[in-house]
Every structure is written in C-alpha cells, then in structure tokens.
Structure 1
Amino acid sequence: MIQSMTGYGKVTIAYKEKKINVEIKSLNSKALDLSTRIAPLYREKEMEIRQMLAAALERGKVDFCIWIDKDATLDATPINGALMENYYRQIKDIAARTGIPEPQEWFGMLLRMPDVMAKTEQEVLDDEEWMAARGAIGNAIEQLQDFRRQEGAALQCKFTEKIDNIAALLSEIEPYEKMRVEKIRSRIVDGLNKIREVEYDKNRLEQELIYYIEKLDISEEKQRLANHLKYFRETMEEGHGQGKKLGFIAQEMGREINTTGSKSNLAEMQNIVVKMKDELEQIKEQVLNAL
C-alpha cells in the first residue's frame, strides 16, 4: 500500500520532575532532508537519533525537535549562600579598614556579585532517562508513520479514481477512431472528384490511403497506455516506497497520451485526449507526495 511523505507525530512523557517532549513533522522531498533541534542534555545522542529517523522514515523533508519542560520551582537558579556570606565579610572588613561607608542595600548588592546566582552543577544524561527519551522518540515516529499510512490510503483512492477515469476515456476513443478513417477516406476522394481534369489511379490512391491511415493509427499507443494503467495499479499494491516508480510510470502514460493527441485529427478524439491529460496531471501532482 502507498504511504504519503506528509506526516506528524508528537509525544510527551513524564520523567521524574520533568516532561520530555518529542515532535516530528515531514513533507515531501526527493530524498531524506533531516533537520533537528535537540535539547542540550540529549545532544550527545544526536547521531543515534538521526539513525533512528533515517531507518524509519526513509524519505521526506523531516523536522525533528526534542525539548524538556521542568517545574519552575525546581528549575530556579540556586543562590550560593556560602559565597554570598564570604562577599559580605570581605566588604565589611574593607569598610572597617578604609573607613568607606558600608552599603545601604546589602542584599541587592550581594546578589549582583559574580557567581552568586550562577549554576555550577552540570546535568548529566543517565541511561534510565535516555531510555525514556528514546521510547518517546519511537512513539512519535510510530504516530508519524500512522499518519503517513492514512494519507497514503487517501492518495491510493485518488489514484485509483483517476486511473479508472483515464481507462474509461480510452475506451471512448474507439468509436471515433473507426469514424475517423472513413472521414479521411471520404474527404480525400471528394477532393479529388472536384478536380475533374485530374485523372488518378484508384489502386495507387488506395495504397496511399492505407499508408496515410497507418501513420495515424493509434492502436499501439492505446495498447501501451492500457499496459501502463495496469502497471500503475500493480505498483500501488507492491508496498510503500514506490513513489518514484509511480512517477516514472505517469511520465510514460503522458507520452502515450500526447502521441495519441498528435495523431488525432478529429475534434471529438482531441477533446477526449484533453480530458485524459487533465486526469493525468492530477496524478502527477499527487504522486510527488507518495513515499
């Protein structure tokens, strides 16, 4: 079954005092175009994350983001009390020795001193948290793949409808094709009959008519187009990852329809060819989204 390259997945899990958020979005692209935004704590795992995404998503323009939400009460920058007391004692000692007046607003001044409000501890990623984050990434990927499968099913219904329409239009050409041959023959003979002073060999005329009509024959184009329609249907059932192949088949279908149009010197047939081109153009637009 077809899968679309369009997809979305988002997962949020709770881990101790924090929430781990993972969001993945994908759109159509000729190859895998992956961009990531990774929280600093998980940067060391970027290559592993990229490998997970590449293996699961195969193709598309993919935006990946993982970030952490923490409880504001737990994430507040701690005050370094010991350092603050040390600054206080030093300033009082200097004031006593030099006679410089002590500050009126001690607390505000001490909080502005270097490193009093600085975080000194560095968070380290442990195996337990990484397994939780990795599980969230896997769930987000699965959500995106489910989205792709749903979109792919809708695409397949659309393709089937358009292929059926082209097949129906192809069958409409046959009556006009037979009519066309008789019209060509009658037009040429009538034209020659109007030129009374010209004598012509009827056998030679018949040979030339056969040659001319053979050049306008579209039997091979019709057969090849029917084969392409069948191949397109079969390819849709092969599984995902057939988007490029479907695009190539659509191009071949276009060649046969164009040749049929160039050989159709009957207005009714040309009108049918225009309708076929319209149906095919809609297939070409949507096949760009197929994985």
Structure 2
Amino acid sequence: MRFATVDLDGTPCVVTIDDDGARTRVRGGTGRTLTDLLALPEPARAAALAPGEPAPADAPLLAPMRPSSIVCIGLNYLDHIREADMERPTTPLVFAKLRGTVIGPGETIAFARSVTRQVDWEVELAAVIGRPTRDVGVEDALDHVFGYTAANDVSARDVQFSDGQWVRGKSLDTFCPLGPTVVTADALGDPQAVRLSTRVNGEIVQDSSTSEMVFGVAELVSFCSKSFTLLPGDVLLTGTPWGCGAFADPPRFLEDGDVVEVEVEGIGVLRNPVVAT
C-alpha cells in the first residue's frame, strides 16, 4: 500500500494512492500526517488508516511524515566509501538531523551563502518505524518497519567538515526533503535490492542500489535500538551511494536555480528546487 499526505485547502490529510493514481482519504487522516496516525495505539491506528472518501487528484503533496526523530547513517555504501577514499566502518556511523529540516515534494531547499557555499545532495532509502523499537535483534528488526520513503540528506559540506561533527551541516532548515509517498514494507519487498538515483537539472549524478550497503536496514534498526528507542513515525535514513558533489572532480555543489530529483525504485521521484540567497 502507498500512503501520502496532501494539502486540502490548508489542512493536511493522509491518503492512499492506488496503482492508477487514484487517491482515497483514510478515515482518521484529516488534519494529521502519517506520523500522527502511526503513533496511535491499536486498534485505533487500524481504524484511522482504513479507507474513507475519495480525495482530489490535484491536491498538492506534502511531506508524508513529520517525524519526532530523524536518525541518519553515514558511510554506509561501499561505492561511496571508495569514492571518498575512506575506511569501511566496523559499526554504523550514526548522527541526527533536526525536525526543521523536513520539507515535502516541490518545496524549496533554501540556504544562505553567508552560512554555506557547498551544499550537496544525497539520495537515501528512509525506513519509517511502525512500532516502539528498543533492543531488538536483527532477525526481528524488519517487523518494526512500517514502510519506506525517499529522502535527500542535503548537506552543507563546508560546515560539516569545519565543525568536526555533522549535526549543524546536516540540519539547516529545509535540508531533509521526504516523499513523495510512503510504501509499506510488504509492498516494497527486499530493502536490499532497491535502485536509487539522483538527477541535478536532469543530469544523473548518482545511480546505485541498496545492495551496496555495508549494514542492511535490519542491522541498522537493530543497532540503533540497542542504544535508544525508535518510536512509530520516526525515520531512519540509511546512507547514500557514490556520486555526491563533494567527491566529484572537480567538486560540484547546488546553486541557486538548480532542481534536484532523488528517486527510489518503487517509491517515486522527490523533486525540489534550490534557492540560495
């Protein structure tokens, strides 16, 4: 099943989208995002996610989630490790993005040149947590994943590398586009066999597969849950493959007027314009 959040005359509404593009409101979705509904206890959650009335096909898409936590993994693709000429990590490299980074399809990635001049793209498969997850084993971890969405882990490289830690460079407002939809785990299938890519102004700059991950989704969920609780609606960004602008020759970064599109197979294309001031 495929879920999205749309804007109905200024009010968010959770909908399902079928294979023909038809949209149906879920019964408890008006005034809420999918994060709100996943946080409900059963059986209230099942009732809230049940199909209701048709929804307008032209309602703009919003970010499908407004997660309380955005947990991210760095250096998790073998091809990215090779291009960055770094050592393969022995345990997942975990960091976080702040909530104000989240935007949806079509919204603007905005930054001030007084803060950063090296803004980079990172296509990522994002796992959406479906139930409280604490101290779970790898063998059970995927049972805690509700579904998946596409993410762009936008990064201010000059800030990231000069600070010596990653939170500020990863957490500028608008630096976490999510969407366009959330696809349930059963509908996506094997999360380690998904193609993902990035285009900047139509040019392909990233093109890889989640098969290149060092640590798979199940390992990442389990690893994180050993240290902190993941809650329903939280989002786990699982790393990016080769092709980031910072490691190109010569390096290339997003500029005012660019359009960046990240695409995850089975989920869709997440397109955002760029504005620099």
TM-score by length of 1: 0.16
More helix by share: 1
More strand by share: 2
Larger Rg over CA atoms: 1
